Structure 1
Amino acid sequence: MPEMTNDLFRAGRHSRYFNHTRSYSLFSRVRMIAWILAVLQTAWILVDWLLLPEDVSSTIAYGRIVASVSCLALGLWFSHPYRLEISLMRLLLLVLVLTVFQSWSNWVLIEQGLGSEILAGYAFFPFMIITMLAIFALTIVEVVGFAVFVILVELVNQLWRGEFGLVNGLNDLWLLAVLGCIAGWASVNQLSMLLVLYRQATRDPLTGLANRRQVMAQLDGDIKDAHEQNKPLSVLLFDLDKFKSFNDNYGHAAGDLVLKQFAKILRDGAKRKMDLAGRFGGEEFLVILPDTDQSGAVKIANAVRDGCHNQTLKVPTGEEVSFRTSIGIAVLGDKTEGRTRFLQRADDALYAAKNGGRDRYVVAPPS
């Protein structure tokens, strides 16, 4: 429970792999809403012509066209859908477009001396914006930030209109706060559901590490990034020594305890947010180390070996047991090397380590 609460509070604890997933969710929803608003803002010009004097409706129409074009531009902004900071910026820009149009249209209507009954029809944007937050999977900190911004803008507008402290103004602020709490609850629930689904789809149920599908998908992306950015990328392939014999001697329950403990050692060794440790299959594990050269990979391999040496487990039979691992290390080669060849070199190095006496690492020759 504390771990889930921390994950919902702010994004600092999220892995970059989950951030990719959440970023794309934000990107797709902002784009969809931006397109809808671009159409509605343009269509509402007809309503303005029916309700407002001709000169005022023309002025408001120009503002709606600018807002529509801005929303259309957001909808056509396709770059970097997997970068969380860019997706949050998209959402902020959408909120700013709506907030600026609402403040500006209110100013135009007041300057023209139109009555409050007309102004009320153009003051719903804060309520729409704060309710719209329920559509997105946001952390508690993000929801509070957006809601406070919208409420502060409304407060400034009320001060400018001379409505602050009046019954209607206080009612609006109270309603915004209530809607913010409801929308925030829905938004954080969406984030919670996304986290649960993501973990079910990408984690190995026994060890809690990434499953093979997630490892392969992320490795493809990391290889592409390493080639494009000309940065090193290393992988460590692990195999628990004589694990089949261990299961035969102590039972599969004892083997599961070893797998769980070894997963903990891997998490302690590869603890940067960009690192990914996963169960590759059976007693094989893979660790992906972006922006890590051979010396960095060897350092982590030694840390994992030391972790195994320092660990003993009491198995269900009551015996104290230990375990060891062999490691194959490969550093990504030139831009022609893909995932298959990269993993094959790590696998060859792993077998060389096992054939060389086990409980050691071997670095694959450069590609």
Structure 2
Amino acid sequence: MFEIMNDLLRAGRHSRYFNHTRSHHLFTRVRLIAWMLMVLQSGWILIDWLLLPEAVSSTIAYGRLAASACCLLLGLWFSHPYRLEISLIRLLLLVLVLTVFQTWSNMVLLQQGFASEVLAGYAFFPFMIMTMLAIFPLTMFEVAGFAIFVLLVELVTQLWTGKFGLVPGLNDLWLLAVLGLIAGWASVNQLSMLLILYRQATRDPLTGLANRRQVMEQLDGDIEEAHTHRTPLTVMLFDLDKFKSFNDNHGHAAGDIVLKQFARILKDHAKRKTDLAGRFGGEEFLLTLPETDQNQAISLAEQIRTACHQTRLKVPTGEEVSFTTSIGIATLIEGEDRSGLLQRADEALYQAKDSGRDRYCLAGDAAEPSQND
């Protein structure tokens, strides 16, 4: 329960790969709402002409057209759909556009002797902004930040117009706070559902690591990024030694215990958000390490081997067992694709197994494999 609350509280615990997914959700929804608001803001000019004097309606029309143009630009902003910070900036800009128009239009109407609450299309702006937050999958900190901003703008507006302290003003603040709580609950609930669906679609049910499909998709992205920015990328392919014989001797329940424990070891050593540990199939695992060169990977491989040596497990038969792993290490070379990288890692893994197991070998390197401790 505590872990789930941490996931919903802030984005710091989310993996880079889940942030990509959430970022795209924010990106698509901000664009959709921006298009809708562009049409509504422009269309409301006709209603203003019916309700306001020509001089006032013309002034307001310029503001609505400016807000529509901003919404159009947000709708046309296609770049970086998978960068979470950019998607949050998109949402912030959308809120700012609506808030600035609301504040400016209130000032114009007040100067002309009109009360915004008696005109169609003005008084509801703060409430629309607040309820709009329910559409987006946000953490508790994020939705609290947006809600507090809207409340502060409304408070400043009431102080400026002399409405603060009066019953209508207090009612509006109370209603905004209640809507903020409801919108926040809905927004965080969306994030929770997105996390559940993401994990179901991308996690191996036994070990909790990324499944093969997720590993392949993210590896493609990591390779593209490594080629683009000319940064190192290393993969490590693991195979639990003599695992089929272990299952035959101790049973599949014992084998599952070993798989889960090895998964925990990989999680403990894949500490960066950019690292991704996954179950490649059966007793094979893959660890992708962006911005990691061969020497760093060798050090990590030794740490993982040592952790396996130090592990003792009790299986259902009451026996205490241990396990070892063989490792193939391959570092991306210029122009290489996923198939080539994995093939070299697989060849290095088989070299490690053929030379005695419980060691690592480097792809495309005739250097001596690691020695047993």
TM-score, normalization by structure 1: 0.98
For residues 172-213 of structure 1, the C-alpha deviation after alignment (integer angstroms, 9 at most, x for no partner) is 000000000000000000000000000000000000000000
Mean Cα displacement is larger for which, 112-121 or 263-272? Answer: 112-121
TM-fit CA distance, 1:365: 2.0
TM-fit CA distance, 1:270: 1.0
Instruction: Name the structure 1 match of 2:360.
Output: 361
AA of the residue aligned to 1:365: G
Instruction: Name the structure 2 match of 1:234.
Output: 234
Q: Give distance in 2, aligned partners of 1:327 and 1:121.
A: 65
TM-fit CA distance, 1:123: 2.0
AA of the residue aligned to 2:156: V
TM-fit CA distance, 1:218: 0.2
Instruction: Name the structure 2 match of 1:179.
Output: 179
Q: Give distance in 2, aligned partners of 1:347 and 1:168.
A: 71
3-state SS of 1:292 partner? coil
Q: Give distance in 2, aligned partners of 1:187 and 1:296.
A: 40
AA of the residue aligned to 2:337: G
Counting only pairs closer than 5 Å after superposition, residues 124-273 of structure 1 correspond to structure 2 as 124-273=124-273
Instruction: Name the structure 2 match of 1:283.
Output: 283
TM-fit CA distance, 1:135: 0.3
Q: Give distance in 2, aligned partners of 1:19 and 1:269.
A: 21
Instruction: Name the structure 2 match of 1:114.
Output: 114
AA of the residue aligned to 2:247: N
3-state SS of 1:184 partner? helix
The answer on whether the counterparts of 2:106 and 2:116 sit within 8 Å (CA) in structure 1 is: no
AA of the residue aligned to 2:155: L
The answer on whether the counterparts of 2:109 and 2:116 sit within 8 Å (CA) in structure 1 is: no
* Count, aligned residues: 365
The answer on whether the counterparts of 2:328 and 2:349 sit within 8 Å (CA) in structure 1 is: yes
TM-fit CA distance, 1:117: 5.0
TM-fit CA distance, 1:299: 1.2
Q: Does 1:104 align with 2:70?
A: no
AA of the residue aligned to 1:259: L
The answer on whether the counterparts of 1:262 and 1:308 sit within 8 Å (CA) in structure 2 is: yes
AA of the residue aligned to 1:297: A
CA gap of 1:340–1:121, structure 2 versus 1, over 3 A, is closer
For residues 58-94 of structure 1, the C-alpha deviation after alignment (integer angstroms, 9 at most, x for no partner) is 0000000000000010000000000000000000000
Q: Give distance in 2, aligned partners of 1:265 and 1:11.
A: 24
Counting only pairs closer than 5 Å after superposition, residues 343-362 of structure 1 correspond to structure 2 as 343-362=342-361
* Alignment root-mean-square deviation, CA: 0.9
The answer on whether the counterparts of 2:155 and 2:173 sit within 8 Å (CA) in structure 1 is: yes
TM-fit CA distance, 1:118: 3.3
Instruction: Name the structure 1 match of 2:18.
Output: 18
User: Which structure 1 segments of 5+ residues have no match?
Assistant: none
TM-fit CA distance, 1:249: 0.3
Instruction: Name the structure 1 match of 2:7.
Output: 7
Q: Give distance in 1, aligned partners of 2:21 and 2:128.
A: 26
User: Which structure 2 segments of 5+ residues have no match?
Assistant: 366-373
TM-score, normalization by structure 2: 0.97
The answer on whether the counterparts of 1:109 and 1:119 sit within 8 Å (CA) in structure 2 is: no
CA gap of 1:211–1:117, structure 2 versus 1, over 3 A, is closer
CA gap of 1:291–1:117, structure 2 versus 1, over 3 A, is closer
CA gap of 1:118–1:293, structure 2 versus 1, over 3 A, is same
The answer on whether the counterparts of 2:117 and 2:123 sit within 8 Å (CA) in structure 1 is: no
3-state SS of 1:239 partner? strand
Task: Write out the 4+ residue segments of structure 1 that deviate beyond 3 Å after TM superposition.
Answer: 115-121
For residues 308-361 of structure 1, the C-alpha deviation after alignment (integer angstroms, 9 at most, x for no partner) is 000011111111110000000000000x21000000000000000000100000
